[in-house]
Amino acid sequence: MTIDWAEWLNLAIRWFHLTAGIAWIGSSFYFVWLDNHLVPPKSGEASGEVWSVHGGGFYHKQKYQVAPSQMPEDLHWFKWEAYTTWVTGFFLLALVYWVGAASFLIDPAKAALSQGEAVGIGAASLVAGWLAYDGLCRSPLGRDDRVLGAVWFGVLVLAAFALDHVFSARGAYLHVGAIIGTAMVGNVFFVIIPGQRKVVAALVAGEVPDPALGKAAKARSLHNNYMTLPVLFIMISHHYAMTFGAGRPWLVLALLGLTGVAVRHVFNLRHRGQATGRAMAVAAVLALASVTYVSAEKATLPARAASAAGGPADWAPADWASVEPIFAKHCTACHAEKPTSDLVSAPPLGVMLDSHAHARMFAARVKKVAVDAEIMPMGNTTGMTRAERDALGRWIDAGAP
């Protein structure tokens, strides 16, 4: 019996990462909701309060703008959810995209990188992203969240554009997500928790805490709230080749990232009891723009293929005899009932391309990942050409005869 330890490790870390992320995002969303629903208390020193009901019980929560006059006996901290999410996400990034750089990260058609060079660029992007974001927050731009958000968004788009020119599109997406996630956990580790520790220390010492600490922590927490949905999109994006497989994947990422920000803003406005019509319209327009752009890009593929081939897109016969050698050369080592590749023991995702019946069954998936998105074969280690991909596309468009 052979156990695929790498796959089990991948599953364990991914499951752990997802669980920790749910805990972090859940608490983050809840506290923003709580902040937006506070009303002035009828009595006491608290700055706001809210009553709620859940699970058969009533809850009365109070907020102190800076800190209570006395240190409470039992104080709950919210930090391990964030730390665990980032650590498991980092391990997953390293295991899949750094250890497997040749298959998932390096695109020889863009840059002939060694594994060490690719890993170095990926790691440097995380550090540079945090330094850029934190520097912006501490600069005069940090006084206005809207200006700061616009500039930070520009930095992320620039990062996506640059990474897309050296990495595979999917690898570039995941590294942009890691940059955002690093900024979010950096907020917790370097700003929010240290500020809270200083407030607690001041209370214990009988001193008045610095209100600037709470203000900074709240600002960073709000930033995290708006960055959450773009990160969640990136986490699931590798399942949807039409996003990172577009002609300008960085632009699709920018549009859908902004859509996530707009959707989050709609919820925040609703929590504050403010009008949401304009924000909802912006979110709808951004979502429609994303779908329209991706669809328009897909529609131009045949014309671009014809231009690249120097002739009409239907120059080759669209029959099984013309594409079977392509499948045999580039696909069936892994995608067969009995794979011959040392990398797999069973056809990945159950996709088999070793016969006409099998290839026809999975034709739509082949079109997405091999023809349109160009992410298969992994790392293009077999050297599939654009002409071969176009031949597969013509065969599939003809109904896979």
pLDDT tens digits, one per residue of 21-65: 999 999 999 999 999 999 999 888 899 999 999 999 999 999 988
Q: How much is the pLDDT for 45? A: 86
Is pLDDT of 343 > 80?
no
Q: Where are the alpha helices (DSSP H) in 111-248?
A: 115-138, 145-164, 169-186, 193-204, 211-237, 241-244
Is pLDDT of 308 > 80?
no
Examine residue 377 and say whether the peptide bond preceding it is cis (omega within 30 degrees of 0): yes
Q: How much is the pLDDT for 203? A: 86
Lowest mean pLDDT among 248-252, 327-331, 367-371: 367-371
pLDDT tier for residue 301 given thresholds of 50, 70 and 90: low
Q: Following DSSP, what letter does each residue of 13-77 receive, concatenated?
A: HHHHHHHHHHHHHHHHHHHHHHHHT-B--SSSS-SEEEEEEETTEEEEEEE-SS--SS--SS---
pLDDT tens digits, one per residue of 143-179: 999 999 999 999 999 999 999 999 988 899 999 999 9
pLDDT tier for residue 307 given thresholds of 50, 70 and 90: low
Copy the structure tokens of residue 109.
């058609």
Is pLDDT of 302 > 70?
no
- Single-letter amino acid code for the residue at 296: A
pLDDT tier for residue 294 given thresholds of 50, 70 and 90: confident
Q: How much is the pLDDT for 350? A: 87
Please tell me which residue, 228 or 240, carries the higher pLDDT value.
228
Copy the structure tokens of residue 119.
């890993």
Report the length, in residues, of the chain: 401
Lowest mean pLDDT among 159-163, 258-262, 301-305, 341-345: 301-305
Q: Where are the alpha helices (DSSP H) in 59-114?
A: 80-93, 101-104
Is pLDDT of 346 > 80?
yes
| Burial of 252 from C-beta contacts in 10 A (0-12 / 13-18 / 19+) | buried
pLDDT tens digits, one per residue of 9-22: 888 999 999 999 99
Q: Which residues contact 27 (CB under 8 A, 6 or more apart)?
A: 78, 81
Handedness of CA 388, 392, 393, 394 (dihedral sign): positive
Is pLDDT of 322 > 90?
no
Copy the structure tokens of residue 270.
């609703």
On average, the pLDDT of the chain sits at 89
Please tell me which residue, 195 or 67, carries the higher pLDDT value.
195
- Single-letter amino acid code for the residue at 266: V
For the chain, domain boundaries: 5-299, 311-397
Q: How much is the pLDDT for 313? A: 46
Q: How much is the pLDDT for 314? A: 47
Residue with the two structure tokens 């990062």: 159
